[in-house]
């Protein structure tokens, strides 16, 4: 099939109509996660489905990104009924086809169950019910390698709105109105960041997507790039238009091979269709994206270190100011946005900043994706309006602690974050309340710890991590983390001595 480059907004709308026209939503579709679930044999399950169905074209197998409930990997959803199965093996597949697909019978043993209640349907499962999906709106529903799937679900439609009459300033106004703050961790208002970069006129500018998700325990950026890469590309195009950049980068960790593969493919597709390149959709706007692979350095998630890495140097941060918005990549004004932030942008533009600001708390608008991991039953990805309590996330959505053990703490914000003990379970969480409680929102990793986790040992673990990942530029970090690690290691190995900090007097 020859892929036609779209030359105008009209052609995009036509294509969307055509794609919707030929789409039969009543058709039986088996959606199977073939990204994160690969670690539990999803590819073998997919092959089993193909083999079992043979030449039967009445049923479609859709390979998707993350569906959220990763604890049940490999997972499968059956549309249009909305049935959810987990923990499948290739041996289960013939039964799924003969019972569920052909005879509409539920197989209880594959269903999600909680407190002895079996939940066959997605709409009833407590894990999914309390969620509000904006960032993950397509994740797990579409085939991430299909541009057509993305367009069918309103993909690239924000560009129509922009090119038909939103000036860059109007775009920035909508983003400012939405109240969205950087999802990478620091929580700087995205609209303000764009405004700063916008004010430097007539210069070459850059926009960078930070996909160097280094915080251990965070995997939402990986899931977005693996499950819905075009949403990030669309976000980048909008950001570039707003600040006046003609070139962008996606800086993605090499440890995420599927994310690298899918985002590379998505860029190629976007170029073929005319969403990237010269004169995008006849608008006169030019923009293209290059992928840069990280090379395994935690510190490169920091924006100035990331810039150094793209420039081909050791990834060592430098003091700010000047901020990248003024002098970033090659000394030019540069905006760096996190994957999750960018995936929100197309939604904000199509629905309006006000619609986004309806979610969240006073100072922290919108939704946030959290990565639930550690000692929690439903490990996976959850997207909720900001302002939910930790109890709601960990117990209502997360299903609580395995073996009904006692909750001890939840670690948030990666190595520079902190641990929140049980007394904070009922705090509605937003950027400010988490900070007051002693942790940070960070990128949204939540690692739950139960009564058997030793907090002193965890402190030693984090110091070990920070010491290993220190870039070595500044003395307090290079030598300080080493000395702290030595002290805490003495405690964990029973060798602590008089004079050590915290040693009982």
- Extended strands (E) in 48-140: 59-64, 76-79, 83-85, 112-114, 117-119
Minimum separation from the CB atom of position 225 to another protein (A): 10
The CA distance from 489 to 449, in Å, is 20
The CA distance from 375 to 406, in Å, is 10
**CB–CB of 445/412 below 8 Å?**
yes
Angle between helices 257-273 and 229-243 (to 10 degrees): 60
**206 in contact with another protein (CB under 8 A):** no
The CA distance from 187 to 194, in Å, is 14
How many residues lie near another protein (CB under 8 A)? Answer: 55
Would you give the binding string for another protein spanning residues 470-489, x where CB under 8 A is met?
Answer: -x------------------
**217 in contact with another protein (CB under 8 A):** yes
The interface with another protein within residues 408-447 (CB under 8 A) comprises 411, 414, 445, 447
- Among 149, 213, 228, 234, the residue binding another protein under the rule CB under 8 A is 213
**187 in contact with another protein (CB under 8 A):** no
- Among 190, 341, 379, 481, the residue binding another protein under the rule CB under 8 A is 379
Nearer to another protein, 306 or 386 (CB): 306
The CA distance from 133 to 220, in Å, is 13
**222 in contact with another protein (CB under 8 A):** yes
Minimum separation from the CB atom of position 298 to another protein (A): 6
**314 in contact with another protein (CB under 8 A):** yes
Would you give the binding string for another protein spanning residues 31-50, x where CB under 8 A is met?
Answer: -----x-xxx----------
Nearer to another protein, 198 or 253 (CB): 253
**253 in contact with another protein (CB under 8 A):** yes
Nearer to another protein, 312 or 504 (CB): 312
Which residues fall within 8 angstroms of residue 131, CB to CB, at 6 or more apart? 68, 382, 383, 384, 397
Minimum separation from the CB atom of position 383 to another protein (A): 15
Give long-range contacts, CB 8 A cutoff, 24+ apart: 283-289: 283/9, 283/159, 283/163, 285/163, 285/241, 286/246, 287/236, 287/237, 287/240, 287/241, 287/245, 287/246, 287/247, 287/248, 288/246, 288/247, 288/248, 289/233, 289/236, 289/247, 289/248, 289/249, 289/250
**465 in contact with another protein (CB under 8 A):** yes
Minimum separation from the CB atom of position 106 to another protein (A): 25
142-150, 199-207, 317-325, 374-382 -> range binding another protein (CB under 8 A): 374-382
Please count the helices (runs of H) and the strands (runs of E) in the chain: 20, 15
**162 in contact with another protein (CB under 8 A):** no
Nearer to another protein, 208 or 381 (CB): 381
Nearer to another protein, 219 or 275 (CB): 219
Nearer to another protein, 361 or 470 (CB): 470
Minimum separation from the CB atom of position 308 to another protein (A): 10
Nearer to another protein, 161 or 368 (CB): 368
Reported as half-sphere exposure (CB side, CA atoms, 13 A), residue 57 has a value of: 1
**216 in contact with another protein (CB under 8 A):** yes
Minimum separation from the CB atom of position 185 to another protein (A): 15
The CA distance from 451 to 184, in Å, is 30
**292 in contact with another protein (CB under 8 A):** yes
Alpha-helical (H) ranges within 352-419 are 353-357, 390-391
Alpha-carbon torsion (262, 263, 264, 265), positive or negative: positive
DSSP 217-246: T--HHHHHHHH-HHHHHHHHHHHHHHHT-S
**184 in contact with another protein (CB under 8 A):** no
Nearer to another protein, 154 or 489 (CB): 489
Per-residue burial over 351-364, b if 16 or more Cβ lie within 10 Å, else e, is: bebebbeebbbeeb
Burial of 321 (0-12, 13-18, 19+ CB in 10 A): exposed
* Three-state secondary-structure class, residue 334: strand
**131 in contact with another protein (CB under 8 A):** no
Residues that bind another protein (CB under 8 A): 36, 38-40, 70-71, 73, 213-219, 222, 253-257, 292-298, 309-315, 371-375, 379-381, 411, 414, 445, 447, 449, 453, 458, 461-462, 465, 468-469, 471
């Amino acid at each position: 099939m020859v892929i036609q480059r779209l030359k105008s907004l009209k052609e995009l709308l036509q294509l969307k109509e055509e794609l919707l026209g030929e789409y039969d939503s009543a058709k039986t579709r088996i959606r199977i996660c073939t990204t994160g679930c690969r670690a539990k044999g999803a590819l073998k399950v997919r092959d089993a489905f193909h083999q079992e169905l043979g030449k039967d074209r009445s049923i479609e197998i859709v390979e998707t990104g993350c569906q959220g409930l990763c604890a049940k990997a490999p997972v499968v959803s059956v549309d249009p009924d909305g049935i959810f199965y987990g923990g499948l093996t290739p041996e289960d597949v013939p039964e799924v086809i003969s019972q569920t697909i052909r005879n509409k019978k539920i197989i209880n043993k594959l269903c999600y169950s909680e407190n002895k209640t079996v939940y066959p349907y997605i709409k009833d499962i407590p894990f999914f019910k309390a969620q509000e999906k904006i960032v993950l709106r397509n994740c797990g529903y579409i085939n991430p390698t299909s541009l057509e799937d993305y367009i069918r679900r309103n993909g690239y439609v924000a560009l129509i709105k922009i090119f038909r009459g939103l000036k860059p300033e109007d775009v920035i106004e909508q983003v400012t109105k939405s109240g969205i703050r950087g999802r990478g961790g620091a929580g700087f208002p995205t609209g303000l960041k764009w405004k700063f970069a916008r004010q430097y006129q007539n210069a070459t500018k850059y926009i960078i997507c930070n996909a160097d998700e280094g915080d251990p325990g965070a995997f939402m950026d990986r899931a977005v790039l693996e499950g819905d890469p075009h949403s990030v590309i669309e976000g980048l195009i909008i950001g570039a238009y707003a600040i006046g950049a003609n070139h962008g980068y996606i800086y993605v960790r090499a440890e995420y091979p599927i994310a690298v593969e899918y985002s590379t493919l998505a860029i190629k597709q976007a170029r073929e269709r005319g969403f990237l390149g010269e004169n995008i959709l006849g608008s006169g706007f030019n923009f293209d994206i290059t992928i840069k692979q990280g090379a395994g350095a935690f510190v490169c998630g920091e924006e100035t270190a990331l810039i150094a890495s793209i420039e081909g140097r050791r990834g060592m941060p430098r003091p700010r100011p000047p901020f990248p918005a003024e002098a970033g990549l090659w000394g030019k004004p540069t905006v760096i946005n996190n994957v999750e932030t960018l995936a929100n942008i197309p939604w904000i533009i199509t629905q309006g900043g006000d619609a986004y600001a309806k979610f969240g708390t006073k100072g922290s608008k919108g939704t946030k994706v959290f990565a639930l991991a550690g000692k929690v039953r439903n490990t996976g990805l959850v997207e909720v309006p900001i302002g939910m309590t930790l109890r709601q996330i960990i117990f209502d959505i997360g299903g609580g602690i395995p073996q009904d053990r006692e909750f001890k703490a939840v670690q948030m914000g990666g190595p520079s974050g902190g641990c929140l003990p049980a007394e904070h379970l009922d705090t509605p969480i937003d950027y400010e309340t988490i900070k007051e409680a002693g942790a940070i929102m960070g990128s949204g990793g939540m690692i739950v710890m139960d009564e058997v986790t030793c907090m002193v040992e965890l402190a030693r673990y984090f110091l070990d991590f920070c010491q290993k990942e220190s870039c070595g530029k500044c003395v307090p970090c290079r030598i300080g983390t080493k000395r702290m690690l030595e002290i805490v290691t003495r405690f964990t190995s029973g060798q602590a001595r008089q004079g050590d900090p915290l040693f009982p007097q």
